[in-house]
Structure 1
Amino acid sequence: MRKLVCLAVLFFIVPFALFSQNLSNLEFISPFHDGVAAIKKGERWAFVNNQGELVVDFRNDFVLSNINKKEYPIFNSDRCLIHKKKDGILYYGYIDKKGNEVIEPEFLNATPFTNGLAIVLKLYKDVLGTNDVLDKKMIDYNYMEVAIDMNGDIVHYFTEKPVHITLSRDFLRKPPLIKTKFIAENLIATMNKDKTWSIKKYKL
């Protein structure tokens, strides 16, 4: 009987100890967005729900948003922006509130979701042929600025033609600029060459 009581006490104490350890000594706690709040410990971030439960564990691949002069990751439409480095180049994708990678990091740049949509730079690869001397494929890379849904499917194109890019860590020291942003339902703002903005209507 005594053994049973001890086991029961441990059953309740151990999870509580782990819970307290994970959520103590925090350096920053964000406001709630989409039902969760970002918390920071060291260089890593995690998310808690409105019950104070850890729903996404601490990790260091989140992309931070600048909100009211504070930088932290956010969820919107059950998606949070992450990045991964491959061959020295950052690629962007999304996770859900279970921490699962639901949209693979494959975009050259991306925005957080807004009302079920995000704007990303979709990379395209075109094999032109093979260099017989070097025995190496000749590849042309381009990207387009597009809107995607929560499944990662393209629902709208914002650029009229592909933009050529050199896919090299020396060339891509920072992500190409996204020049479109949502400002209202069926309304976008696009950056012009002189850095001014134009307002346009769009339909999915």
Structure 2
Amino acid sequence: MKRQMVTLVTFLIAATVWGQDLEKVDYISPFIDGVAAVKKGKVWGFIDESGTMVVDFRNDLIISKQGDYGYPVFNSDRCLFTEKRDGISYFGYIDKTGKTIIEPRFLNATHFTDGWAVALELVKRRVGTNELLEKPLVSYDYFEVIINNQGEVEHYLLDKPIHIALDKEYLRRPPNISCKVLTANLIARLNSDKSWTIKKIE
């Protein structure tokens, strides 16, 4: 009986130590913002520094190019993901539990840098009424904006909105973003001649 108890205790200890192992992982990224991306097949998840899986494997995380390889990243406690609706991609952010914190409402977005991200904020405007069908006529524009990690718009980066046809045939790829965050106080804007303008964020 005593030997059986020792065997049982040994088994339970082994299960505790080895039961959480993550096996057959194809890639493990460096730790960034306290977590590392892990790839299994075509899906990605995240582990923390104890090896615990904090974001389960999923196929909607956006890859960030890092040298010769790319993987999803967290920065400012946010990771970028995408969701398709009516054939159009929208972008939002999750936290380190996998919970959606910023709903996927942007036509494109960047990973966070120093608490800021650049996103394309979609705006719907009513421009009239179709009298025959008794339906409103709407127009869509987007603004290039800087958002904080709650998804709130902090700065508008363009002087005027850009008109867009909200149609999957037109939006087969997300519209380009022309600005990027350099630091908490600086952004860079790509000019039409492919040069960059560096601007301070007030």
| TM-score scaled by length of structure 2 | 0.90
1:195 positional shift: 2.2
1:105 positional shift: 0.4
Separation in 1, partners of 2:38, 2:53: 10
- Tell me how large the CA RMSD over aligned residues is: 2.2
1:154 corresponds to 2:116: no
Aligned residues: 201
1:132 positional shift: 2.2
Separation in 2, partners of 1:134, 1:141: 20
1:17 positional shift: 6.4
Identity of aligned residues (%): 48
1:97 corresponds to 2:96: yes
Aligned residue identity for 1:90: S
Gaps of 5+ in 2: none
Secondary structure of the residue aligned to 1:76 is coil
CA deviation vs aligned residue, 1:88-107 (integer Å, no higher than 9, x gap): 00000000001110000000
Partner of 1:164: 163
| TM-score scaled by length of structure 1 | 0.90
Higher alpha-carbon deviation: 184-193 or 123-132: 184-193
CA deviation vs aligned residue, 1:84-125 (integer Å, no higher than 9, x gap): 000000000000001110000000000111111111000000
CA contact (8 A) 2:80 2:111 kept: yes
Partner of 2:56: 57
Partner of 1:182: 181
1:78 positional shift: 0.6
Separation in 1, partners of 2:171, 2:183: 31
1:183 positional shift: 2.1
Q: Which runs of 4+ in 1 moved over 4 A?
A: 1-18
Secondary structure of the residue aligned to 1:19 is coil
1:86 corresponds to 2:55: no
